[in-house]
Amino acid sequence: MRTAAAILRKDLLLELRTLETLPSMALLSISTFVIFHFGLNQDSLSGQLAAGVFTVTLLFAAMLAINRLFVAEREQGGFDAFLLAPVDRTAMFVAKAAALFIFMVALELVAVPAFALLLAPPRLGHSLAGFVLLLVLADGAFAVIGTFVSALAVHTRARDLIGPIIGLPLMLPALIATARGIGPLLRANSSGSPQLKWLLVLALYDLFNALLAVGLFDYLIEE
Amino acid sequence: MSTHVRHLRGLTVVTALMITAGLALTFFYAPLDAEQGFVQKIFYIHVPLAIVSLVGFCLGGVYGIGYLRTGKRVWDMRSYCAIHMSLIFSVAGLLAGSIWAKASWGHWWVWSDPTLVSYLIVILLYCTYQPMRFSIEDPERQARYAAVFSIVAGAFVPINFIIVNLSSEYLHPRVLNLEGGAMPGSMKLAFYTSLIAVALLFATLMKYEMAAKELRIETRRLRRRLLGDDAGPLGRTASPS
């Protein structure tokens, strides 16, 4: 656990000092909202359409972070150093997934207000609690699957291509659940609480992927 | 002669016979569907293709576990060939399903059918298997990463079906529900014969592919022994080598 905390601290410090990933993610999400505004020719979105636009935007921003997640380790010999150290390899997975989760939460601190401001979905304030709960679970899926895919892709030659094409289908079930869960919350007549079904699906999918990734991660960083 | 080549001729003959029997039963024995008529015959090829390809994907994952546990290249080869064949079968199954959808629902693609949609997602995932292998140069790492991919993707297949099914109202004809389906006996006979025929076809083609790959590896080894370092590379490949 201490190893994981050390790696996480290193990653967050690196991001704070270089500001490489997070500003790009925030900018990308705002640009995507602008593109959707023009593409759909709508000043405000509601219901399932709003949910879809928001989920897709989050996904694209997540892809940026996922592509960058292990690049520093590979380019600056972090992997070799980690493999030489007498520590549990799962620590690397836990730390990277936690870092990705924190990145996603930080992104949403910008993206949710921007979404509310630019595309004005109705009832967002009213159903904020359920909305946040769904986002946290979705971030869990992004973090777990993203870390796994990133570790898989970082040693391939075309890692910027391989990561997204493997990651997208694997994340689809989580995206379906997130979009379907958020959709009813953003309707004009929303009750304000999300359907239990989608919360449960997301939580189980997170858990399932976390177990699978923890079990298999060791094989990905072996030399 | 390697273990994969043994029984290959017998297996081929049995497969050819079963396919003939399956087609004969489908076209001359099974009754016409009361609602859909002749078009429904495609069911005898579409459903077996879908079932066999999905089982094949999961089988690739099981072989992947075999590789990670033993580290023997033959498991990687099995996993690769199972996934390769399943991908071909699944694309054929998807096309057959699309034709059936056009004939019975009037559209080539139907989003309201969760089985078709989740099938497409699974195919999209497995389409990335070969590009991933292809972009890893070290053969040992290639095999290890491919095994990890095959296990995750194999586990993804059933989970994905469950979640996509939750997301839409069902439309797919449930011919094989838990109560044994609404098929009359003659349809069942034709269907199960076709299913066995397609499964045998899968096994036969997979064995042929493995035999061909082993032969290529053997050829390369002999070439290297004859020519030494002059043998030169035979080109890059995504398959185990």
pLDDT tier for residue A158 given thresholds of 50, 70 and 90: confident
B45: in domain: yes
How high does pLDDT run on average in chain B?
85
Q: Looking at per-residue confidence, does B91 or B114 come out higher? A: B91
Proportion of chain A above pLDDT 90, given as a percent: 53
Q: Looking at per-residue confidence, does B170 or B141 come out higher? A: B141
Q: Locate tokens 């925030």: which residue?
A: A26
Q: Go through chain A and tell me how many residues it has.
A: 223
Give the closest of B68, B136, B166 to A201, CB-based.
B166
> A119: domain range?
2-221
Q: Considering only CB atoms, which chain B residues are within 8 Å of A155?
A: 136, 141, 145
The dihedral over CA atoms of B164, A174, B92, B183, expressed in degrees to the nearest 10, equals -20
Which of A165, A176, A207 should be substituted to probe chain B, the one whose Cβ sees the most B Cβ atoms within 10 Å?
A176
Q: What would the pLDDT profile of A81-121 be if each residue is shown by its tens digit? A: 888 888 888 899 999 999 999 999 999 999 999 999 998 88
- Compute the Cα dihedral for A84, A88, A93, A95 and give only its sign: negative
Q: Looking at per-residue confidence, does B29 or B149 come out higher? A: B149
Q: What is the pLDDT of residue B187?
A: 82
- Compute the Cα dihedral for A202, A161, A14, A72 and give only its sign: positive
Q: What is the pLDDT of residue B1?
A: 47
Give the closest of A155, A165, A213 to B136, CB-based.
A155
B238: in domain: no
Q: Which of residues 158-217 of A touch B (CB under 8 A)?
A: 158-159, 161-162, 165-166, 168-170, 172-173, 176-177, 180, 197, 201, 205, 208, 212-213, 216
ipTM reported for the complex surpasses 0.90: no
B234: in domain: no
Q: Considering only CB atoms, which chain A residues are within 8 Å of B148?
A: 152, 216, 219-220
Average pLDDT over residues B212-217: 88
The dihedral over CA atoms of A17, A107, A167, B54, expressed in degrees to the nearest 10, equals 150
Distances in whole angstroms, Cα of residue B106 to Cα of each of A89, B78, B101: 53, 40, 7
Which of B128, B134, B137, B169 should be substituted to probe chain A, the one whose Cβ sees the most A Cβ atoms within 10 Å?
B128
Contact check, Cβ <8 Å, B149/A166: yes
Proportion of chain B above pLDDT 70, given as a percent: 86
Reply yes or no on whether the pLDDT at B177 is more than 50. Answer: no
Average pLDDT over residues A41-68: 91
B69 CB-contact burial (10 Å; exposed 0-12 / middle 13-18 / buried 19+): exposed
* Rounded Cα gap, residues B209 and A83, in angstroms: 37
Contact check, Cβ <8 Å, A157/B151: no
Q: Considering only CB atoms, which chain B residues are within 8 Å of A148?
A: 152
Q: What is the pLDDT of residue B179?
A: 43
pLDDT tier for residue B79 given thresholds of 50, 70 and 90: very high
Reply yes or no on whether the pLDDT at B180 is more than 50. Answer: no
B228: in domain: no
Distances in whole angstroms, Cα of residue B136 to Cα of each of A41, A71, A212, B90: 43, 16, 22, 25
Average pLDDT over residues B76-87: 94
Q: What DSSP string describes B33-59?
A: BTTTBGGGGGHHHHHHHHHHHHHHHHH
B213: in domain: yes
* Rounded Cα gap, residues B128 and A163, in angstroms: 10
Residues of chain B that touch chain A, judged by Cβ-Cβ distance less than 8 Å: 68, 121-122, 124-125, 127-128, 131-132, 135-137, 141, 144-145, 147-149, 151-152, 155-156, 159-160, 163-164, 166-167
Q: Looking at per-residue confidence, does A162 or B113 come out higher? A: A162
Q: What is the pLDDT of residue A23?
A: 93
Question: Which domain CATH number covers B100?
Answer: 1.20.120
How many independent structural domains does chain B possess? Answer: 1
Q: Locate tokens 């559209």: which residue?
A: B107
Reply yes or no on whether the pLDDT at B239 is more than 60. Answer: yes
Q: Looking at per-residue confidence, does A73 or A216 come out higher? A: A216
Contact check, Cβ <8 Å, B145/A155: yes
> B74: domain range?
8-172+184-218
How high does pLDDT run on average in chain A?
90
Q: What DSSP string describes B151-208?
A: HHHHHHHHHHHHHHHHTS---S--TT-TT--S--HHHHHHHHHHHHHHHHHHHHHHHH
Reply yes or no on whether the pLDDT at A170 is more than 80. Answer: yes
> Which of A103-117, B24-38, B84-98, B112-126 has the weakest average pLDDT?
B24-38
Q: Looking at per-residue confidence, does A159 or A150 come out higher? A: A150
Q: What is the pLDDT of residue A112?
A: 93
- Which amino acid, B156? F
Average pLDDT over residues A152-158: 86
A19-23, B5-9, B111-115: which is most confident: A19-23
Enter the tokens of residue A198. 């989608």
B225: in domain: no
Q: What is the pLDDT of residue B221?
A: 86
* Rounded Cα gap, residues A197 and A181, in angstroms: 8
Q: What is the pLDDT of residue B232?
A: 59
Q: What is the pLDDT of residue B19?
A: 92
Give the closest of B122, B125, B131 to A162, CB-based.
B131
B113: in domain: yes
How many independent structural domains does chain A possess? Answer: 1
